[in-house]
Amino acid sequence: MTAAAVTVPRAGARPAPAWPSYRFELTKLLAQWPIRLALLACWLGPGLIVAVISQQSSLPADTLFGRYMSQTGWAGPLVILSFSGSWILPLLTSLVAGDIFATEDRLGTWRHLLVAVRSPRRIFVAKALASLTVIMLLAVGLAASGIVGGLAAVGNRPLVGLDGHLLAPGQAATAVLVAWASVLAPTLAFAAVGLLGSVALGRSPMGLVIPALLALLLQIAQLLPLPVVVRVALPSYAFIGWRGLFTDPAQTGPVLIGVTVSLVLAVAAAALAYRLFMRRDFTDLAYDGSGRRVLVGAVLPLAALFAVTVGVIAGATSASGSGIDGGKLDRSLATAFGHLYRMQTAELHRPGVTEAQLRTSAACDKGGSLVANVGAGNDWRCVVTWRLPGSAAVGSSIYQLDVSPDGHYVADGDGPQEVNGFFQVHTATGDVPNPLWQFNGSIDLPTPISPS
């Protein structure tokens, strides 16, 4: 026997250091081919898609900012952002966070990992941080690729905002970056839900798809005519709240509420996951999650949190109903029309005019006199009027509005011909899309309903 063998060791050896534990988890994640494939797709895909689409004559006008993809490189990353918020980011959180605990169950490596790390707490933190790192890498890849693709294919040009005002390239860059940063909060929330599902359901495939299922449910919920306080309390609202950043002045309420709600959910879901994880009996080889554990340890607390969130938002914003009414649409449409009219004037080299000189106003009506002027729908009809300097005549134009429950609308012009009758206008540099023929707008849902 050697001398070393009889040395009395230190009782209760220390856990493995934090950095190697984190690095180990990161190594395991990055060694998986689905993760590598996702990284490749996120860092290359958006750039290629934006570059190709922006060169085509037919643009995705039904997607926010899609109609401007050929005019500025900053529209592309916003199109990617719109699509990512709905599907890609939740799916990526499923792939990474939804599997990070379950994979140890599938491989039967929990005991090995516990013996090596000697601290369930450290294992949890390392796994959570590693999955967060990979998710951030994926999200940053989506943003960076979209931006590079857009700027390379179209260029660093001004971007038309959601109220028609023109953002200079620098302003557009800032707004795009802030918009992408804002969706990191709901991405974190979905990642935390993924961790919770992965911890609670063990090797069951249900754990893997929980963020994706949640995204699907929330997508459906956003299409329903929910009260505004319920809508903005949903974590998915932060995926669309960034739209308000592209108005002047910026509608920061939705994005701030969305980010706050998402961060609260992220912390709560991560805490529940931690609690479940620390209570797990790792000597039980037959452990495979349990329905009761999920219900009591995850679903009920999160449902309670949602109810509290709705109550807090209701008290803080005094918003009610759908958040959509004629007064908000009147102001939003008039503002957007004024900005876009000025842009059209400049494109056509007509005498310059300012929004103040135009004195634009709008009057919106939903479905005729028998229907109240509130709520989403494609039956909004608005009359826009404006004045030109030095002329006593009052111009007017009609727009059909398709208003989504989330506050986004598409305004489709219906004459006069010289204003919004054609989808293109002739400029000195060639035909370009007519900014007044069809455009997107957004109203601030959480602000109180205005008197109509």
DSSP 351: P
Q: What is the nearest approach in angstroms of another protein to the Cβ of residue 207?
A: 19
- Rounded distance between C-alpha atoms, residue 419 and residue 314, angstroms: 42
The angle subtended at Cα 384 by Cα 331 and Cα 428, nearest 5°, is: 105
Query: Number of residues in contact with another protein, rule: CB under 8 A?
Result: 41
Q: What is the nearest approach in angstroms of another protein to the Cβ of residue 100?
A: 13
Closer of 28 and 67 to another protein (Cβ) = 28
Q: Is 450 in the site for another protein (CB under 8 A)?
A: no
Q: Is 117 in the site for another protein (CB under 8 A)?
A: yes
Q: What is the nearest approach in angstroms of another protein to the Cβ of residue 14?
A: 9
Q: Is 392 in the site for another protein (CB under 8 A)?
A: no
- Rounded distance between C-alpha atoms, residue 244 and residue 405, angstroms: 15
Q: Is 290 in the site for another protein (CB under 8 A)?
A: no
Residue 31 identity (one-letter amino acid): A
Q: What is the nearest approach in angstroms of another protein to the Cβ of residue 115?
A: 5
State the sign of the Cα–Cα–Cα–Cα dihedral 243, 246, 247, 249. Answer: positive
Q: Residue 161 in contact with residue 107, Cβ under 8 Å? A: no
Q: Which two tokens stand for residue 421?
A: 């009758």
Q: What is the nearest approach in angstroms of another protein to the Cβ of residue 276?
A: 17
Q: What is the nearest approach in angstroms of another protein to the Cβ of residue 237?
A: 37
- Tell the burial category of 227 from Cβ atoms under 10 Å away from its Cβ (0-12, 13-18, 19+): middle
Residue 319 identity (one-letter amino acid): A
Backbone angles phi, psi at 73, to 5 degrees: -70, -15
Q: Is 292 in the site for another protein (CB under 8 A)?
A: no
Selected binder of another protein within 57, 58, 220, 283 (CB under 8 A): 283
Q: What is the nearest approach in angstroms of another protein to the Cβ of residue 99?
A: 12
Q: Is 9 in the site for another protein (CB under 8 A)?
A: yes
Closer of 108 and 291 to another protein (Cβ) = 108
Determine how many CB atoms are found less than 10 A away from the CB of residue 55. 11
Q: What is the nearest approach in angstroms of another protein to the Cβ of residue 70?
A: 43
Selected binder of another protein within 58, 62, 249, 284 (CB under 8 A): 284
What is the H or E stretch that residue 24 is in?
helix 18-30
Q: Is 115 in the site for another protein (CB under 8 A)?
A: yes
Selected binder of another protein within 40, 177, 278, 285 (CB under 8 A): 285
Region 82-111 residues binding another protein, contact defined as CB under 8 A: 107-111
Helices (H), 224-250: 228-233, 238-241
Q: Is 10 in the site for another protein (CB under 8 A)?
A: yes
- Rounded distance between C-alpha atoms, residue 411 and residue 425, angstroms: 18
Closer of 4 and 392 to another protein (Cβ) = 4
DSSP characters over 91-157: HHHHHHGGGTTHHHHHHT-HHHHHHHH--HHHHHHHHHHHHHHHHHHHHHHHHHHHHHHHHHHT-S-
Q: Is 22 in the site for another protein (CB under 8 A)?
A: no
Of 115-123, 169-177, 212-220, 404-412, which part binds another protein (CB under 8 A)?
A: 115-123
Selected binder of another protein within 48, 52, 55, 112 (CB under 8 A): 112
**Counting every residue, how long is the chain?**
452
Residue 26 identity (one-letter amino acid): L
Closer of 11 and 428 to another protein (Cβ) = 11
Selected binder of another protein within 27, 354, 427, 450 (CB under 8 A): 27
Q: Is 304 in the site for another protein (CB under 8 A)?
A: no
- Rounded distance between C-alpha atoms, residue 228 and residue 445, angstroms: 7
- Rounded distance between C-alpha atoms, residue 180 and residue 81, angstroms: 7
DSSP 369: T
Closer of 286 and 428 to another protein (Cβ) = 286
Q: What is the nearest approach in angstroms of another protein to the Cβ of residue 132?
A: 19
- Rounded distance between C-alpha atoms, residue 85 and residue 215, angstroms: 9
Residues of the shown chain interacting with another protein in the complex, contacts defined by CB under 8 A: 1-2, 4-6, 8-13, 15-17, 20-21, 23-24, 27-28, 31-33, 107-120, 282-285
